[in-house]
Copies of this chain bind each other. A is one copy, B any other.
Amino acid sequence: MRRRVTIYEVADAAGVSVATVSRALNGGRVAPSTRERVLQVAGRLGFSPSPAARVLATGKSRAIGVVIPDATGPLYGRMLRGIGLELAQAGYTYLVESSERDPGREGQVLRDLSARDVEALVLIGSGLGPQALAAMQGELPALVLVEREGAELAAPMVTIDNESAAERATRYLIEHGHERIAHISGPRRAGRERLAGWRRALAAHGLAPGPVEDGGFTEAGGYRAAKALIGQGGFSAVFVASDRMALGAYRAFREAGLRVGADVSVVGFDGLEFGAYLDPPLSTLRQPAQQLGQAAARAALAVTRGERPENVVLSCELVPRASVMEYGGGL
């Protein structure tokens, strides 16, 4: 079995005390020549300090906890990569747990992570509401909120600029000559902000808002919402607040005999991979998932240092594709 090389063995081999070894390794005051020797011996022996012992001695675990809503979500992998990259530079790691979109389970997960001694918690996406979180905050380490409600929680927030992105999406349709633009909306903060962006773009161009239907951010909801819109008519384009809802909308349009990109233009939101493979490929706004992760990690590191980092707002990139065409007479 692998056996751990301890600091004592390094100390013996280098002919110094463990305190000196510890200092040499962690940048304390040591004579340069001694440091040199200790480092050399430590390297030769393959010494690597026991994280557990270090945690116990210092009270800092050098780990942060990350809670995601759904392990299979396509964006979370990218966020985690961003988090991992950023943390690694600071010698930190992370523990991930998924709440599986169950607020009760999220509570569990938070307690669990907290019991595991993480120094900060990054909560991604929707989950427990602000009041519920506030109630738990006493027993939890510092929080960082990513794309989540909770301005009142005195926790740093990392978000995307939903409103501007939605405005950009809508403007993209307007630039293609569309004047009657519908919206399939979603719930919560993200949904509200995207709705607001849509409104703002229309208002800025002196256009009246088209019909709005809620799609609950699900494919089935998007399908139903599109059906409802089709029933009402009066639009030549739709801004859909998520790619997944756009998927459902595609189906509804197809069933109604409408060709996306010809009879009706569509812009989605999120930039999920499958959008590129739809027929026609879906125009969308790409979320900067990895950057969100990095920003969240930076914020988390800052809070572990007792700082109070600024909120971060990132913007999305428009991905123009064939689902949007020049206006040529609408529904």
Interface of A toward B, CB cutoff 8 Å: 2, 46, 48, 50-53, 55-56, 61, 71-74, 76-78, 80-81, 84, 93, 95-98, 114-117, 138-141, 247, 273-274, 277-279
Contact = CB atoms under 8 A, between A and B. Distances in A.
Given A46-B139, A277-B277, 16 more contacts: A2-B141, A50-B56, A50-B117, A51-B52, A51-B116, A51-B117, A52-B53, A52-B61, A52-B117, A71-B78, A71-B80, A72-B74, A80-B96, A81-B98, A84-B98, A273-B274
B61 A72 contact: no
A57 to B, nearest CB: 9
B56 A84 contact: no
A284 to B, nearest CB: 13
Which of A72, A117, A247, A279 has the most chain B CB atoms inside 10 A of its CB?
A72
Rank and list the top 7 A-B pairs by shortest CB-CB distance, nearest first: A52-B55, A71-B81, A279-B279, A274-B274, A48-B115, A72-B77, A52-B56
A78 B46 CA distance: 36
Nearest to A137: B2
A262 B74 CA distance: 32
Nearest to A282: B277
A142 B65 CA distance: 25
A72 B277 CA distance: 18
A78 B72 contact: yes
Contacts of A279: 279
B51 A139 contact: no
